[in-house]
Structure 1
């Protein structure tokens, strides 16, 4: 049977494919053999690694069967690993205890049912081995059917280390608790900042200082105790301390409990842990420092006001302070204190300026005075200088090793002492030369000082005063020489008032020999009292005589007053009667009169009017001089008032051919005056001006006011008067051109209004009368 070519080809292809498949199978088998060998090696390595690992796995199936290494049996104190979990309880000293096994079984069942992992620690009874158990649900590839995979770790060595660490931790916690307690109880605010410079821990004092309810609130709100300084917050400054790894200390002010307090703040970096800080309240120390500086400045300010020189040297014998008198006494410049002049150098400079006494061995003298610094008590010396100055030097060593040197210039005091001695001698001589009798009593009443006249004035023996008797004893001796001995008490009252009450008091009494003495007590500045006694016998007699004359004058004044009162009636009544009868004759009551009779009647009426005016002037002048002139003061407008007076004399001015110029305005204001009396004064002056001015003359009446003073000027360009004529006119002597009593009356009326009248006149030029009144 022949095969076709196609069949042969197919058979060839089939054989080739078979050969390729066999070759592939051989290659794949060799690869799997190698892979299996690798897996066996890997399994052996894994088994070995598990045996050497610190953790041993244990498979617990759902039926309680367990699979694990025999090494694990040794951990449990067993010879062989049992087949079931319940068999791990091997009895006393072996396996697990009943409670441990029950807990392990419960955890494994929960893990198998819920797939929840668990952890626990076991210590087999009678073993020092500590085991850590970690259980999870086993992967199905490891053990299907919901088995639990339990890993057991032996951390016995770690447990020992942990025990040691626990002890150290417990001790550290105790120490930390004590430290925290100390920090918490510390009276100063303390805090701790983390690496971010934020507050993490604060103590109770910090909480109180910032006013927070608790430390947690203070930390949560990052309440800062220290206010920003120069734009830097407390946290930023703490950050600088951490960056530089150097502590920073500063003094700042902060508000605590509503008060500004000075705090010394320290920020201490703690490696990389953070920054600790604390604040010490130094307000009291600062206050003490301020008080000390204020006290020192006040003390030095007071010393600068003293007239005594004061210099202070420190423990190094350097000049620390010197007031103005000290520098002036020792001729020091202002830089001596700044440069800290040495004490020895000061003495040398003083010697060169002639401010130390002349001594034979100056170095030895200077060394002795340097010893003042170590002296146990104050030293005092008198330094007479070559220029006549006397210095009193006091050296007071100080507890700090320094020295206070006091220099007092007693030159003036010694001169005053000499002057005082001279004054005392002068006073004694003056006392003895006085006409008055003087005595000085001490506050206790003892006689201290007296002059020669004192004993003779009181009729005492000089020897009696030499014993400086007390006032009662002295008064007892004086009483015997008085006209009325009981009046001696008044002398005692005067002495007591001058010495104890410090009041002036006086008295007068009569002596038995007829003399009259006047005495007075005067308190003296030194606390003593001065008793002055004066014999006023002659003056008393003169006083009695003057008193009698005064009574006579008062009686004559009374008579004068009565006379003036009667004159008003006695003068006016006849004139009124004459005037009345003359008017009746002029009216034709007694029949028609001839022309000559009418002229006589007119002359009679003119004379009556003139005489009435003169009588009025005489009475007013007399009453004014006696102070009896009645005045009715009221407010007057000066310009209308004077104008009305001028108008009443308008006819006389026109008849005399005189020109009158009245100057004034409403600005002259008002015055307080009696309209009638002041009007009479101005009218009298105006009448005099009219009478003295010839035809064609001019009269000026000027009204003005300046600084509350009203002024009325009445001037004319008439004949004028010589000084003698003006004097006679002021005295009231009758003149053909002047109405005799006009000027004196006007002067009296003006002065009764509190004003003044001034008259100026020149012969041939005229007269000016100036009235000044206070408005």
Structure 2
């Protein structure tokens, strides 16, 4: 290599080394300047409560400031812990410090008129924030015992808030979450799970959205729903929001059971309403003040009362007055006696003993029943039984006609039920056997009647067959036989099975006896016991 080439290479190397040295020297001077600046900023306010931040990282703090930071929550960042500590006295601290990088210097006064204030400065990427005490009005000092008592009370309150099953959290005037208890944080982690190796965020993500923020001192209570992926049903919370200074404190109680109970009650009421709407019986429920609170459509159809009158919740006596005006209840003799009767009706219904049949002037018949309900309420059931009454009268007429026809027969006829009870006997039967029924026909049974027959007659296998048919229930077709009374009178006995297990037994005189006299002529006959066969 020539001498000229060697000099050129050496010159280039020397130039590069000089540049690198110059850059290193500049970097050292810049960092030394930054460190000197940080050290200078802290030395100027070492005795005060001073924090030095690089963005949101606390790079240095005075001794009093470090003492304050010891009360931070474990999962809070430096910046959030700082804001949380001073937010009680400076609620707008977050928003005011956001402009520090632009203004360079800022004084922030407290909202409670306290003598201290905050001086914030920004220089070369560092923010120094100092809590300044007024020289003429220093903070009052307290003795160690009082400080210990305050610290103990604070610890107690802190543990209550942390261990509470309620969700408790606090928001500043900007709506930013500044504190939350363990229950709130755990629910937030369930709703918004983080990666296994990721740090938990602060503040935690909001569990609820659109939470009310009261403008005055009165609390606001509202319901909020949360859908959790692991649960089939949503979780309901009753949230109470209170304004404390410029902050808002929220308390959330799990109200899922209450909401579920209300939904079940609403469904039950709807089911009852649908059921009542389909009933043909009119229902009217009056509360303890005797006002109509529940009624079904059938009530309006039966009483002919207009819906607007029923919806207006009339009193019990107004309801009865309108029934009387519409001639939908028995016509009273006079109004005063009617009012007394209605007062007695209310009293009887409250005791659960009122039941009456009303014959309406238009020909209808109502069955009215009064029943007591809880909390002093009473319910009235209005049932149209006109068809039932008409059918009963028709059946009664048919029964009376049938009974008269059977009583006019010369044959002695009796009927026993499947259980052997005497259910019917005509006049000829009573005359023949001397049976006195006296309206208590169902109190006699086959064993009593059979004993009476056998006592008045000679022994016969007929009674055995009747016993097997009626008492033992042996199903047999119709048959007949003859028995002899003690006075040598021959009687034909006929057995006929009837529907539903009933039995008919008929006694008639034989033809030679009928030739002389019938049952009509032997109504005064008394069986003789002196003759035996």
Question: What SS does structure 2 have at the residue aligned with 1:220?
Answer: coil
Question: In proportion to residue count, which structure has more helix?
Answer: 1
Whether the 8 Å CA contact 1:209–1:257 is kept in 2: the answer is no
- Equivalence for 2:241: 268
Q: Deviations over 1:366-424 (max 9, x none)?
A: 58747976886357466554334454544556554544333344555554454343222
- Equivalence for 1:13: none
Q: Is 1:203 the counterpart of 2:174 in the alignment?
A: no
Q: CA deviation at 1:282?
A: 3.0
Whether the 8 Å CA contact 1:319–1:336 is kept in 2: the answer is no
Flag the 1:190–1:271 CA change in 2: closer, same or farther, 3 A: closer
Whether the 8 Å CA contact 1:262–1:286 is kept in 2: the answer is no
Question: Among residues 183, 190, 200, which one is paired with 1:220 in the alignment?
Answer: 200
Q: CA deviation at 1:332?
A: 1.4
Q: CA deviation at 1:531?
A: 0.6
Whether the 8 Å CA contact 2:170–2:178 is kept in 1: the answer is yes
- Equivalence for 1:173: 151
- Equivalence for 2:17: none
- Equivalence for 2:362: 387
- Equivalence for 1:404: 379
Q: Is 1:279 the counterpart of 2:279 in the alignment?
A: no
> Aligned ranges for residues 434-583 of structure 1 at < 5 Å?
439-442=414-417, 445-451=420-426, 461-464=432-435, 466=437, 469-476=444-451, 485=460, 488-496=463-471, 506=477, 508=479, 510-511=481-482, 519-522=495-498, 524=500, 529-533=501-505
Whether the 8 Å CA contact 2:169–2:251 is kept in 1: the answer is yes
Q: Deviations over 1:606-640 (max 9, x none)?
A: xxxxxxxxxxxxxxxxxxxxxxxxxxxxxxxxxxx
Q: CA deviation at 1:206?
A: 7.1
Q: CA deviation at 1:532?
A: 3.1
- Equivalence for 2:351: 377
Whether the 8 Å CA contact 1:309–1:322 is kept in 2: the answer is yes
> Aligned ranges for residues 349-748 of structure 1 at < 5 Å?
349-359=322-332, 362=335, 365-366=338-339, 369=342, 377-378=351-352, 380=354, 383-396=358-371, 398=373, 400=375, 402-409=377-384, 411-432=386-407, 439-442=414-417, 445-451=420-426, 461-464=432-435, 466=437, 469-476=444-451, 485=460, 488-496=463-471, 506=477, 508=479, 510-511=481-482, 519-522=495-498, 524=500, 529-533=501-505
Deviating more after overlay: 240-249 vs 334-343? 240-249
In 2: Cα distance, 1:522 partner to 1:237 partner = 81
- Equivalence for 2:308: 335
Flag the 1:209–1:198 CA change in 2: closer, same or farther, 3 A: closer
Whether the 8 Å CA contact 1:357–1:386 is kept in 2: the answer is yes
Whether the 8 Å CA contact 1:249–1:265 is kept in 2: the answer is yes
- Equivalence for 1:250: 223
Q: Deviations over 1:466-500 (max 9, x none)?
A: 596532343456679999955744433432466xx
Question: What SS does structure 2 have at the residue aligned with 1:277?
Answer: strand
Q: Deviations over 1:736-766 (max 9, x none)?
A: xxxxxxxxxxxxxxxxxxxxxxxxxxxxxxx
Question: What SS does structure 2 have at the residue aligned with 1:237?
Answer: coil
- Equivalence for 1:699: none
In 2: Cα distance, 1:351 partner to 1:401 partner = 25
Structure 2 portions without partners, runs of 5+: 1-46, 48-135, 485-489, 508-533
In 2: Cα distance, 1:364 partner to 1:220 partner = 82
In 2: Cα distance, 1:188 partner to 1:196 partner = 20
- Equivalence for 1:648: none
Q: Deviations over 1:577-596 (max 9, x none)?
A: xxxxxxxxxxxxxxxxxxxx
Query: TM-score with structure 2 length normalisation?
Result: 0.51
Whether the 8 Å CA contact 1:391–1:410 is kept in 2: the answer is yes
Q: Which has the larger radius of gyration?
A: 1
Q: Deviations over 1:97-137 (max 9, x none)?
A: xxxxxxxxxxxxxxxxxxxxxxxxxxxxxxxxxxxxxxxxx
In 2: Cα distance, 1:285 partner to 1:494 partner = 67
Q: Is 1:311 the counterpart of 2:284 in the alignment?
A: yes
Query: TM-score with structure 1 length normalisation?
Result: 0.37
Q: CA deviation at 1:530?
A: 1.6
Whether the 8 Å CA contact 1:497–1:521 is kept in 2: the answer is no
Question: What SS does structure 1 have at the residue aligned with 2:304?
Answer: coil
> Aligned ranges for residues 60-139 of structure 1 at < 5 Å?
none
Q: Deviations over 1:189-219 (max 9, x none)?
A: 444456664474333587489769x9xx999
Q: Deviations over 1:115-171 (max 9, x none)?
A: xxxxxxxxxxxxxxxxxxxxxxxxxxxxxxxxxxxxxxxxxx99994444x555533
Flag the 1:242–1:510 CA change in 2: closer, same or farther, 3 A: closer
Q: Deviations over 1:553-588 (max 9, x none)?
A: xxxxxxxxxxxxxxxxxxxxxxxxxxxxxxxxxxxx
CA RMSD in angstroms comes to: 5.4
Q: CA deviation at 1:426?
A: 1.6
Q: CA deviation at 1:331?
A: 0.9
Whether the 8 Å CA contact 1:504–1:522 is kept in 2: the answer is no
- Equivalence for 2:294: 321
- Equivalence for 1:69: none
Flag the 1:516–1:285 CA change in 2: closer, same or farther, 3 A: same
